[in-house]
């Protein structure tokens, strides 16, 4: 196999990843590995490819070319696409050849489906004992509900995330991005790297399993221990923190500002800046303020209503209280700070031409502080763009 020619090869240069996944969790994991320099071969069904190629709008359709889904574009940069019918003997043979050469295999079929296709865990190990397999499911690969299909919004509800998201207990909301999918992909990529590190010592691969359920439970954070240790059930509390006060969203004269008064020192600084008494009855400590959150928030809201958003942010910055505005997605990508972090990349797409994509969230530096040359990224592939690769593996 040959790799793309990049200005900087990336820390995973030389690794070959075979990506059998579709939708978002698995493709996101594979994209993370591709961002780091691995060569990712995305194996798609010839009849339409990854489901997300049809998810939209929005679609972008250049003249005399198939339309492209912006959803697909979000999770498939730095990959190649080959098409294989895994129910066909020739397709299975081609996949076996890829697996023999691969370092990592990613799959997110329902538990048992890969076995039925002839690629059980035992079969994979016989084909390639060094293979690291990432397997992502909806609710886990065993247990009483292992057979359930996993979709992000269902997982957000079943895993408790929606119960603590929204304006209140009677207005539950999903997170505005497919966070269960994304977290499962991130945990999966993390597990793959750990397994590869162990393989460097043992010479053998292993199977890494994650799920949408486990990924969401894995980020319950204080909401989890609130129940497991204190036996208290968290509820949706809108834009204000249930354990820190004042901490949340407040209106200004012309918009809104968020503040994070996360320590007693910050509380005193905040009060000094706005002429408030930090030791007022029921407000001296954070637990007292949380217990009297309605009163505290009303006091803060009254003070903030006198300022425009820009004026208030300047004042909060001057007194050293963490604060920020609410930006639209467009404003985030137009923000100079976002651009300075390499979070926008320009790539050449086979049919769309030059396009801009959100970029990877990691940067690498030498120990002397110099940033390493950022690698050249490639656009998400059109379906079957790299089928010629199959000839190289003996199809």
Note whether 284 and 370 are same-domain residues: no
Stretch (H or E) spanning 354: strand 353-358
Q: Is the dihedral of CA 306, 311, 315, 321 positive or negative?
A: positive
Domain assignment present for 68: yes
Q: How far apart are CA 220 and CA 12, in angstroms?
A: 30
What pTM, to 2 d.p., does this model score?
Answer: 0.92
Residue 283 sits in a domain of what CATH number? 3.30.1540.10
Note whether 261 and 388 are same-domain residues: no
pLDDT at 5: 39
Domain assignment present for 269: yes
Domain assignment present for 352: no
Q: How far apart are CA 178 and CA 3, in angstroms?
A: 31
**Which residue, 329, 349, 379, sits at the end of a domain?**
329
Note whether 196 and 286 are same-domain residues: no
**Which residue, 290, 309, 329, sits at the end of a domain?**
329
Residue-number span of the structural domain to which 275 is assigned: 247-329
In 159-198, where do the E strands start and end?
166-168, 171-172
Domain assignment present for 102: yes
CB 1 within 8 A of CB 88: no
**Which residue, 308, 329, 350, sits at the end of a domain?**
329
Residue 36 sits in a domain of what CATH number? 3.40.50.10540
Domain assignment present for 270: yes
Note whether 378 and 304 are same-domain residues: no
Note whether 33 and 131 are same-domain residues: yes
Q: How far apart are CA 30 and CA 210, in angstroms?
A: 14
Domain assignment present for 337: no
For 38, 125, 194, the CA distances from 201, given in Å and listed in that order, are: 20, 18, 11
Domain tally for the chain? 2
Domain assignment present for 301: yes
Q: How far apart are CA 20 and CA 286, in angstroms?
A: 50
Task: Pick out the chain residues at pLDDT < 70.
Answer: 1-7, 394-395
Note whether 115 and 264 are same-domain residues: no
Listed residue (56, 33, 51, 25) closest to 179, CA to CA: 25
Note whether 165 and 266 are same-domain residues: no
Note whether 181 and 41 are same-domain residues: yes
Note whether 190 and 121 are same-domain residues: yes
pLDDT, tens only, 134-188: 999 999 999 999 999 999 999 999 999 999 999 999 999 999 999 999 999 999 9
pLDDT at 136: 97
Domain assignment present for 155: yes
- The torsion angles phi and psi of 108, rounded to 5 degrees, stand at -135, 40
Q: How far apart are CA 155 and CA 183, in angstroms?
A: 11
For 43, 311, 352, the CA distances from 382, given in Å and listed in that order, are: 12, 48, 10
Note whether 198 and 276 are same-domain residues: no
Note whether 180 and 295 are same-domain residues: no
Note whether 177 and 40 are same-domain residues: yes
pLDDT at 394: 60
Strand order in the sheet with 256-260: 247-251, 256-260, 323-324
Catalytic residue numbers read 181
Q: How far apart are CA 318 and CA 158, in angstroms?
A: 44
């Amino acid at each position: 196999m040959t790799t793309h020619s990049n200005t900087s090869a990336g820390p995973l240069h030389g690794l070959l990843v075979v990506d059998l996944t579709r939708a978002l969790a698995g493709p996101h994991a594979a994209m993370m590995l591709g961002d780091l320099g691995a060569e990712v071969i995305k194996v798609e069904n010839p009849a339409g490819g990854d489901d997300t190629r049809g998810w939209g709008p929005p679609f972008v359709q250049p003249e005399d070319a198939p339309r492209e889904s912006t959803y697909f574009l979000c999770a498939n940069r730095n990959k190649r696409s080959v098409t294989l019918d895994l129910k066909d003997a020739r397709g299975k043979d081609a996949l076996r050849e890829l697996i023999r050469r691969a370092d990592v295999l990613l799959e997110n079929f329902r538990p048992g489906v890969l076995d039925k296709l002839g690629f059980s865990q035992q079969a994979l190990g016989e084909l390639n004992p060094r293979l690291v397999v990432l397997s992502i499911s909806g609710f886990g690969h065993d247990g009483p509900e292992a057979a359930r299909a996993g979709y992000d919004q269902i997982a957000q509800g079943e895993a408790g995330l929606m119960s603590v998201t929204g304006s209140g207990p009677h207005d539950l909301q999903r997170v505005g991005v497919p966070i269960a999918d994304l977290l499962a992909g991130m945990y999966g990529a993390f597990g793959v790297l750990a397994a590869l590190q162990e393989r460097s010592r043992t010479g053998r691969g292993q199977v890494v399993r994650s799920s949408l359920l486990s990924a969401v439970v894995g980020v319950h954070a204080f909401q989890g221990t609130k129940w497991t240790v204190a036996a208290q059930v968290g509820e949706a509390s809108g834009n204000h923190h249930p354990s820190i006060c004042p901490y949340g969203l407040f209106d200004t004269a012309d918009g809104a500002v968020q503040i994070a008064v996360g320590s007693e020192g910050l509380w005193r600084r905040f009060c000094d800046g706005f002429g408030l008494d930090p030791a007022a009855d029921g407000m001296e400590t954070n637990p007292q303020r949380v217990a009297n959150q309605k009163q505290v928030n009303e006091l803060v809201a009254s003070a903030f209503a006198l300022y425009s958003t820009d004026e208030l942010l300047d004042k909060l910055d001057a007194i050293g209280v963490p604060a920020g505005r609410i930006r639209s997605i467009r404003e985030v990508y137009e923000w100079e700070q976002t651009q300075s972090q390499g979070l926008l990349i320009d790539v050449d797409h086979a049919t769309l031409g030059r396009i801009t994509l959100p970029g990877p969230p990691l940067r690498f530096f030498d120990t002397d502080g110099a940033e390493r040359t950022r690698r050249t990224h490639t656009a998400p592939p059109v379906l079957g763009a790299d089928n010629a690769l199959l000839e190289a593996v003996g199809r």
